[in-house]
Amino acid sequence: MVRVIPCLDVLPEGVVKGRNFQNLRRVGDAVELASRYDAEGADELVFLDVGATVEGRSPLTAVLEAVSRRVFLPVTAGGGVRSLREIEAYLAAGADKVAVNTAAVKRPSLLAEAASRFGSQCVVLAMDVRRRETGWEVCVEAGRRPTGLDAEAWAREAEARGAGELLVTSMDRDGTGLGFDTDLYGRLARAVRLPLVASGGAGEASHFAQAARAGATGLLAAGLFHGSALTIPDLKKRLRADGIEVRP
């Protein structure tokens, strides 16, 4: 079944949202929003500390702990992961899976080490990508630094090293409401056999079905849910009508 996944991008001041990874503004409280999504029937929750890596600080695990005390959804947490220590801290704070981005690019062996210690099922490779003339390029440090890495090649390497899932954000579509980059997700779905969470660009219910048909097994959105422009029950009803199997 396809999973519907709200995302909480967090900073010390609360949950934030922007466009193309820029102009972040506060949109709510992490615990309140997570509780609402739990009640609405979300399948999972993604919790991303979007400032930890750039600011060089420890992740906001206290906020995750507060969320975990209130909700019972599977949670993927990420941001500021530099070593096995941060992965363990996120798991101890209530995460079921941990997303690794910049640190994995800098030291790909971290994926294998994490999979060996904690199991592939909780190791998620997060990729922030920009479209180029030929394919998509991976960017790190909250999208600020291009790496020259091809997204498909990096996804295949991550799978071989033990990652259990991909969380892929189109920086070009982020916050635009123009729809998911279905070309991107179709290419990645053909390149690897991992579960694939699509992120970036959701603007209406029809966009989610398009991403699912392209090969995404998880459908992530933030601003569209935060402002209640689309509720999770309404989205699931529309997905079922479009022939996409979702959990009740």
> So which residues are the catalytic ones?
9, 128
Pairing of strands 136-140, 123-131: antiparallel
Tokens encoding 71:
């909700």
Pairwise CA distance, residues 226 & 27, whole Å: 7
DSSP the chain: -BEEEEEEEEETTEEEEEETTEEEEEEE-HHHHHHHHHHHT-S-EEEEESSHHHHT----HHHHHHHHHH--S-EEEESS--SHHHHHHHHHTT-SEEEE-HHHHH-THHHHHHHHHH-GGGEEEEEEEEE-SSSEEEEETTTTEEEEEEHHHHHHHHHHHT--EEEEEETTTTTT-S---HHHHHHHHHH--S-EEEES---SHHHHHHHHHHT-SEEEESHHHHTTSS-HHHHHHHHHHTT--B--
Single-letter amino acid code for the residue at 102? T
